[in-house]
Structure 1
């Protein structure tokens, strides 16, 4: 489980870095982007290097000293923290907290040198089960090394959190804000991951023993941190793609919802159908579904125009009697009922004198504020009408009343 979590986190981070490199545009290189890319790469490689299986395999099969692998993994992880600190200072909106790149480089080199010196001075040995055993005089040195790394990591993470927090507040609502929030969650996970190593200090001082590679909890926290970083980066980068996907799903839903109403109108009036052809349904995503949906809207509208002469003048009054209300919330139901009654009248060949004056939207009770003013509004309106046409239990009752109406002959045959 520990190895799987470590390798999975490493693969996710390296894949993110590879994708960022592939999508990098030619031109002026931005230091902020390259600092973030270096951090992601170093953190991914350190997860893979410090996995227990890596240490065991390199020592057993490749003949490489396990201590060298652990030292290399720690060095790469420390370098990742240095790049994170650089990124935080570059992103911080307050100029007072932006230290110079030369100062950051000097600090990074100093931390790396102290980490290596403490490791060498502690003179650890590696046991077959992957634990580091410090020399009797090196317990304090190894403990100081662990504490130094943890303090440096907490410092870098806090600096990054402070730099990103204003962006989370000021970012526009939507994917960008959620991307920043996920990165902040990754930073919080990184803090927990770092604090988890503080028990190693007590363990080293008491027993002189340290887990050379990452344990299961550390690797799981590392994989979770990597996943949050990738998710936050992709959500912010792919906000346009997510918006297009959401629009495509919405158009597909409207297309399906309109299906029963559209089918009923085309069955009654085949002449409203456009010739087949044009853009395929799924071509040019989402242009294909948009083309098919708008063609369906036009055909439904043409069918409603043909049905004007068959509108029953009492539909709105019947609905008001049955429901006790005729407010704007029932306008879609009034329109659906009017269409259903008109289709029934067309099948019976009955027209109503003056019915065409009701307009393209049928019932005169429809609030003028609800009349769509653009194509997207028309799609939303027709989706409501189609849902009521297919789902409302009022319409079958109204059709039964229409068929049983006395004096149906008031309608003049056309």
Structure 2
């Protein structure tokens, strides 16, 4: 169980570092990101090296002491990168926390750890226990205490540096990511404090576990999970938002299809030449290109149809009274056989626009034009039914607006009724 926790945590951390390196743009320089990646990679490698299963390879002829020394060196380097990360994240680090000072301290710490290990002259027992040589208890105990103290210091500095970032993050996912990193720091503190009993054990019995025990590996696995989740939550949020936007644009593209097809069939001249970016290329850029081209063609068709607008469409819809209309989400429908629910301005305005386009297409097929005065009056009357709040102010709002119009153009039962009245009026 201890080996499983250690190796799983190592795989999670190394995979996180490999994924972050893979998506890094060539030539980009992000010291904070690279310091974090170095810490994650070193910590993952040290957990794999100090796992009981790895240390047990000494039974097969491997040098167990070298494996333990290498694991401790890599783990100490991970702490140095953690301290460097705290210095870089903190916008105004104190002089004692400057990156240059910490780099020098990291070198001296590595030298001290190696010298203390040599001075302790330990031997590795068959059960994985590291036993100090003659007069080696104090050097080994000082080595354990020095590492634990440096780990606690690094974690406290990182907590102090990340805490304001977690509070002031611009978006919810970034705030949650910072909180998870802070939780990982707290677990790391508990993980480090768990090793303080090793100091007493070394001084009393002259021995210490050469590998991490079950509790330490379990805490390491929890810490690795929190670090990975906190690091990825912001990226996952961006990915989910891009996926949600792509699905929304695809839905608008399909909803606008019937209206766009009707206008292109009646007026082939509004169609742009085929080609350009494929629909699924550069997700979501491909669907945006196709959708915005569809918006432009619909607007061109609406401009051509201005001479065929019937001046009485809006008044006919008012006279028709409430009716059940299928509308997309966010638009309130009205029922004639139940208590009337006031429709919102979007639904009314979209229905008027859809009915105007349908009547204009019918007039175009029959060759019926209207005078400029009648068309202007119809346009003014239609504009008076549209609230200022539903007038599109940007391209995305225009897409949503035309989607409502297209939905009403295809699904509203008022459109066939209006066209029948139009044909009856002509007859």
Q: TM-score range by the shorter chain?
A: 0.7 to 0.9
Distance 1:272 1:232, change over 3 A: farther
Q: After superposing the two structures, state which structure 1 stretch, 82-91 or 117-126, moved more.
A: 117-126
The answer to whether 1:413 aligns with 2:426 is: yes
Corresponding residue of 1:290: 288
Deviation at 1:293, TM superposition (A): 0.4
What does the per-residue CA deviation read over 1:32-76, in whole Å, with 9 as the maximum and x for residues that have no partner?
66655543443233123212332233x244x33212211221122
- Offset at residue 215 of structure 1 (A): 3.8
Match of 2:245 among 238, 250, 258: 250
Residues in 2 aligned to 1:382 and 1:221: alpha-carbon distance in whole angstroms: 54
1:43 matched to 2:43? The reply is yes
**For residues 84-123 of structure 1, what are the structure 2 equivalents within 5 Å?**
84-99=82-97, 103-105=101-103, 107-116=105-114, 118-120=116-118
Aligned equivalent of 2:193: 195
Tell me the matched-pair count: 398
What is the aligned partner in structure 1 of residue 12 from structure 2? 9
Offset at residue 83 of structure 1 (A): 3.1
Q: How does 1:166-315 map to 2 (within 5 A)?
A: 166-173=164-171, 180-198=178-196, 200=198, 210-226=208-224, 228-229=226-227, 242=238, 246-247=241-242, 249-264=244-259, 266-267=261-262, 270-272=265-267, 274=271, 275-302=273-300, 306=305, 308-309=309-310, 311=313, 313-315=315-317
Q: CA deviation at 1:365?
A: 1.6
Aligned-residue CA RMSD in angstroms? 4.6
> What does residue 64 of structure 1 align with?
62
Q: 1-side partners of 2:400 and 2:263: how far apart?
A: 24
Q: CA deviation at 1:167?
A: 3.3
Mapping for residues 344-359 of structure 1, pairs under 5 Å: 357-359=377-379
CA distance in 1, matches of 2:20, 2:348: 53
Q: Which residue of 2 aligns with 1:376?
A: 396
Shift of 1:338: 5.5
**Aligned pair in 2 of structure 1 residues 174, 24: CA closer, same or farther (>3 Å)?**
farther
1:332 aligns with 2:347: yes
CA distance in 1, matches of 2:21, 2:350: 55
Cα distance in 1 for partners of 2:223, 2:408 equals: 47
Secondary structure at the aligned position of 1:256 is classed as: helix
Mind listing any 5+ residue stretches in structure 2 that lack a counterpart? Answer: 323-333
Whether the aligned pair in 1 keeps the contact of 2:65 and 2:124 (CA below 8 Å) is yes
Aligned counterparts of 2:204 and 2:267: Cα–Cα separation in 1: 86
Asked whether the 8 Å contact 1:266–1:272 carries over to 2, the reply is no
Match of 1:82 in 2: 80
In structure 1, distance between residues paired with 2:25 and 2:369 = 67
Q: Secondary structure of 1:313's partner?
A: helix
- Residue pair 1:42, 1:80 contacting (<8 A) in 2 also: yes
Q: Secondary structure at the match of 2:276?
A: coil
Match of 1:365 among 385, 406, 420: 385
Cα distance in 2 between the residues matched to 1:21 and 1:161: 26
Sort the Cα spacing of 1:272 and 1:325 in 2 relative to 1 into closer, same or farther, 3 A. farther
Structure 1, unaligned stretches of length 5 or more? Answer: none
Checking the alignment, whether the CA contact within 8 Å between 2:6 and 2:218 is kept in structure 1 is no
* 1:100-124 alpha-carbon deviations (Å, 9 max, x no partner): 5564355435544554455455554
SS state of the match for residue 132, structure 1? strand
Cα separation, 1, equivalents of 2:256 and 2:141: 74
Q: Secondary structure at the match of 1:197?
A: helix
- 1:330-386 CA-to-partner distances (Å, cap 9, x unmatched) read 323541366268648967989898577443995742113422133222012223445
